[in-house]
Structure 1
Amino acid sequence: MRASDAERERIAKLVSAAAGEGRLSIAEADDRLERVYTTRFRHELAEFVADLPAGRPEAPRPARGLDRFPVRLRAHAAVAAVLSVVLILRWIAMDVPFFWPAGPMFLLWGSFLLHARFVRNGGGVPPWVHRATS
């Protein structure tokens, strides 16, 4: 099957990028580029990039899920969740008409939210602390 201009351009870009990265000398890149543009068939194009990496190295992927948060913040959330479950189970075991775990859970999760805000601001001085300027 004959090679298209778009296929030749794609291979030429790979060869040019390899020369820019220092993987090929300028003379070798020029020779390959000249031969790429005179190539007639698709299967012949593969030989020009066979000894080169398939593409650029992968960019680091953004963190997903819980990996976006620091370990100390995940640990804080885990402790708050476990204590909340314990408080709710304790409330279920008691025969009390009002939901008394609301107060301790408010403190647990409030401290977690403050911690998260502190971490988001870079872990420096908390936003509610104002330094005296002199």
Structure 2
Amino acid sequence: MHPEQVTPPRLRTSDSEREQIAGLLREAMTEGRLTLDEGEQRLGAAYAATFRDDLDVLVRDLPRGDRGTGATRRSMQRHLRLVVIAAGLLVALWTLSGATFFWPVFPLFFLLTGLFRHARWHRHGVPARPRF
């Protein structure tokens, strides 16, 4: 058999993936994208799903949750602004103190670590929809 003809094995789904899809379906019902009957039917199918591709079919016709992009950018800009202001204040205090050792390196390390973790979380955080 050729490698192109081999179908990948179906992967089993987990409880957390079922819950994530159920949350998307509940949100769609709340927004009026699904009727109550259709939502309940899809919720039942989500909790009964065995494989990941069974879950994907349930949310395929719903919009992806990409609405948070603007909010994410604003959140990152706000965090960056806070770090820059804090860094400026720390360097000003160091200059005014006359200390020879650059002690602001320690708080700046933690501020920058928090900023990088924030950026990484937004870039690689929990997706709006599970990636199968």
TM-score clears 0.5 = no
**Normalization by structure 1: what TM-score?**
0.44
**Normalization by structure 2: what TM-score?**
0.45
Larger relative contact order (Cα-Cα within 8 Å, sequence gap ≥ 6) = 2
